[in-house]
Structure 1
Amino acid sequence: MVKVNEGAVPVLEVWRGGLLESTHLGHAVICDAKGIVAAWGNPEAVIFPRSSAKMLQALPLIETGAADARGLSQAHLALSCASHRGAQVHVDLAGRWITDLGLSESDLRCGAHEPGDLTERDRLIRAAEKPCQLHNNCSGKHSGFLTVTQHLTAGPEYIEIDHPLQKAIRAATEEVTEETSAGWGVDGCSAPNFAMSVGALARGMAKFATAREGHGAREDAMYRLSRAMAAHPHLVSGEGQACTELMRAMDGRVAIKGGAEAVYIAIVPEKGLGIALKVLDGGYRASEAAVAALLAKIGVLDPAHPAAVKRMAGVQRNWRGLETGFYRLASGFPG
């Protein structure tokens, strides 16, 4: 098993006073249906994909027939793959979903945290309310989990590693990535997260990119999930966030998804390409810059678009507004 720090390359540089102050290292891979077409760093480096794997975790939602049995909309499918900000639109959709299942917020197993959306956070403070599990950025994924669990008449502890749902997710993940998982860890939302190489994650995303309707349950599921994400960027993340802004910049042609500790994926149907990357230090400024740069490199993102410029390079300012330095893509990345 190749450790994550083996063979990593510079991705983003931070400069101050004419001196290089920081460098973010990482790995990135682009795959098509046949395999790797470009790579930076080590494709064999093993990572936890974290929330970038949510579309893999959502495959059983469609493949078991649970989504159609419940009449889930494209918006529901997008939310099942989301790491949302806990805005009212996210909370309301997840809440209605759970209610329609005849369940309640207490049936979720993701835990509660303060919403990232400032409007909703401030509303809670003014109302003297505490955040609930619907505010959790993974509440859509967990609503999907409950939908499958109910459809299979399986037990309520759907996050346990030996639960039928998690067994189905692991099987689907290994089949799509064509790699036996190197292990698993517990994610922030308490669900298992299956380790894999960066190359395997990119290979899996290429399969999502080349999936066609009417070619079996697996391809149908991949097609529907990736198109739902691209069609509803505001549900996948939230206003001001990289996933939402970059998907809007590409007019629904590409699905992208970030994960904790600076993992990112992209699904590019028009090119038949899948992208996966990991920044070693978990720095989001580097992972957002890297995914924007790779999307620009393959010709689906205009590098002059404000959403791209905002992330690929920029001036750093202090609290008084004085320019203190800048950050830029490292030489040779993406090359």
Structure 2
Amino acid sequence: MKYAALVEEVRGGIVENIHFGMICGVDDQYKTFYQVGDDEHYTYFRSASKPIQALPVFLTDIIGKYGLTEEEAALFTASHRGETYHIKALESMLRKLPVKEEELYCPPSYPLNIQPREEMIRKGIQKRKLYHNCSAKHMGFITVCREWGYPVEGYWKEDHPLQKQIIDILSNLSGVPISAIHIGIDGCGAPVFAIPLKRMSEVYLKLACPDLIQDPQLQLAVNKMTAIMNNQFNMIASHQFICSSLLEDRNIVAKGGAQGVYCFGLKNERVGFALKVLNGSEEVWPNIVASILEQISYSNHETIKRLRSLRPSVIRNDAGMEVGSIHEKFQSERLASK
């Protein structure tokens, strides 16, 4: 496994942390044009797979049939962070969809964001399955099962018809044979998939450029899904979080996953990227993605500015004093202009 230093954190003139990893960018000919480290490294998508796992919903008329708003529909692809606007939409989805909260396989949880989590704890509000960041994904799973006549029992198991369909969709988008897709169990209990980093880049290339998808129904579903992700960017994560900051740019389709995995595609440039931070850090995603966009001369400087504001290059202590700095250390081993 070949990897490189991606981000270095310095405090008082001494290197305190180094975040190692690998990055791959592919063009619309499926050629690697941007590479740091091993682009064939098998990597779990984690929650970066949520748009793929949501596609069965968008292959149906579930959104129209049950009168879901765009805000609600966006949550099928989301790792929601439990803000008030997320909970309001999730509660509404429970009322509209043929799903009961106790049917969700994901465990009871508190919100990911600190403020709503601490507020609930102060008020004595108990954990709920609805507050789990994967709850809407599971609502989508169950609704699709009822729509297509699949059994709801065991919908999260690898051999369930729904999960087999999702793996088939992933194989279609990535070009990886089903037999070569590694399957594990994600934090919410559903299957999670590992494929080579380059193939992950190709998936997000196709999410950004659906014309590359051969199946016309799948192409239509991707168009519908990504439009909603861009329209309702704060529903995908939350304000002041990288996924929402990137999706605010209508040229970008993006989603992160646990343990340092991040994927995004650029529509006009017709490229897809996937990266893995080997220590699992999510904090350095904005630094890495901003640097990639700068290195490929991305034209929307406002997007880069938003990313830089999420994770400035200056490290400050709790009193606001400048105590260190953050530096991106990587350059592509092969960089063609895009």
TM-score exceeds 0.5:
yes
Q: Is the 8 A contact 2:294 2:304 kept in 1?
A: no
Distance in 2 (CA, whole Å) between partners of 1:196 and 1:214 is: 20
Following superposition, the deviation at residue 179 of structure 1 comes to 0.8
Output one character per residue of 1:264-291: Cα deviation in whole Å (capped at 9) or x when no partner: 1112212222111111111112233212
Match of 2:166 among 169, 174, 178: 169
What is the match of residue 314 of structure 2?
315
Q: Is the 8 A contact 1:149 1:165 kept in 2?
A: yes
Structure 1: gaps (5+ residues): 1-5
Following superposition, the deviation at residue 300 of structure 1 comes to 4.5
AA aligned to 1:148 is V
Distance in 2 (CA, whole Å) between partners of 1:12 and 1:103 is: 43
* Aligned: 1:26 with 2:25: no
- Measured at CA, do residues 100 and 297 of structure 1 come closer, stay the same or move farther in structure 2, by a change above 3 Å? same
Report how many residues are paired.
328
What is the match of residue 260 of structure 1?
258
Match of 2:52 among 46, 49, 56: 56
Q: Is the 8 A contact 1:302 1:308 kept in 2?
A: no
* Aligned: 1:245 with 2:240: no
Following superposition, the deviation at residue 304 of structure 1 comes to 8.3
What is the match of residue 292 of structure 1?
290
| TM-score scaled by length of structure 1 | 0.90
What is the match of residue 146 of structure 2?
150
Distance in 1 (CA, whole Å) between partners of 2:41 and 2:193 is: 14
- Measured at CA, do residues 162 and 291 of structure 1 come closer, stay the same or move farther in structure 2, by a change above 3 Å? same
AA aligned to 2:208 is A
Distance in 2 (CA, whole Å) between partners of 1:160 and 1:214 is: 28
Distance in 2 (CA, whole Å) between partners of 1:152 and 1:134 is: 24
What is the match of residue 38 of structure 1?
34
Q: Is the 8 A contact 1:312 1:329 kept in 2?
A: no
Output one character per residue of 1:138-161: Cα deviation in whole Å (capped at 9) or x when no partner: 112112112211112222221111
Q: Is the 8 A contact 2:67 2:96 kept in 1?
A: no
Following superposition, the deviation at residue 317 of structure 1 comes to 2.2
- Measured at CA, do residues 123 and 283 of structure 1 come closer, stay the same or move farther in structure 2, by a change above 3 Å? closer
Task: Give matches, 1:33-112, under 5 Å.
Answer: 33-35=28-30, 36-112=32-108
AA aligned to 2:104 is L
Moved more, 232-241 or 301-310: 301-310
Distance in 2 (CA, whole Å) between partners of 1:55 and 1:141 is: 9
Moved more, 284-293 or 184-193: 284-293
What is the match of residue 271 of structure 1?
269
- Measured at CA, do residues 214 and 21 of structure 1 come closer, stay the same or move farther in structure 2, by a change above 3 Å? closer
Following superposition, the deviation at residue 327 of structure 1 comes to 0.8
Q: Is the 8 A contact 2:24 2:35 kept in 1?
A: yes
- Measured at CA, do residues 152 and 300 of structure 1 come closer, stay the same or move farther in structure 2, by a change above 3 Å? farther
What is the match of residue 205 of structure 2?
206
Q: Please give the secondary structure, in 1, of the residue aligned with 2:283.
A: helix
Distance in 1 (CA, whole Å) between partners of 2:16 and 2:247 is: 31
Moved more, 239-248 or 156-165: 239-248
Q: Please give the secondary structure, in 2, of the residue aligned with 1:96.
A: helix
Q: Please give the secondary structure, in 1, of the residue aligned with 2:276.
A: strand
* Aligned: 1:120 with 2:116: yes
Moved more, 63-72 or 163-172: 63-72
Following superposition, the deviation at residue 39 of structure 1 comes to 1.5
AA aligned to 1:179 is V
Distance in 1 (CA, whole Å) between partners of 2:163 and 2:265 is: 24
AA aligned to 1:74 is E
Distance in 2 (CA, whole Å) between partners of 1:229 and 1:74 is: 9
Q: Is the 8 A contact 2:240 2:310 kept in 1?
A: no
Distance in 2 (CA, whole Å) between partners of 1:45 and 1:214 is: 26
Q: Percent identity?
A: 28
Distance in 1 (CA, whole Å) between partners of 2:215 and 2:167 is: 22
Following superposition, the deviation at residue 191 of structure 1 comes to 0.7
- Measured at CA, do residues 281 and 60 of structure 1 come closer, stay the same or move farther in structure 2, by a change above 3 Å? same
Distance in 2 (CA, whole Å) between partners of 1:331 and 1:311 is: 20
Following superposition, the deviation at residue 219 of structure 1 comes to 0.6
Q: Is the 8 A contact 1:112 1:131 kept in 2?
A: yes
AA aligned to 1:130 is Q
AA aligned to 1:220 is L
Distance in 1 (CA, whole Å) between partners of 2:234 and 2:101 is: 22
| TM-score scaled by length of structure 2 | 0.89
Q: Is the 8 A contact 1:296 1:303 kept in 2?
A: no
- Measured at CA, do residues 132 and 253 of structure 1 come closer, stay the same or move farther in structure 2, by a change above 3 Å? same
Following superposition, the deviation at residue 323 of structure 1 comes to 2.4
Q: Is the 8 A contact 1:63 1:218 kept in 2?
A: yes
AA aligned to 1:224 is K
Q: Please give the secondary structure, in 2, of the residue aligned with 1:172.
A: helix
Distance in 1 (CA, whole Å) between partners of 2:133 and 2:172 is: 27
Q: Please give the secondary structure, in 1, of the residue aligned with 2:87.
A: helix
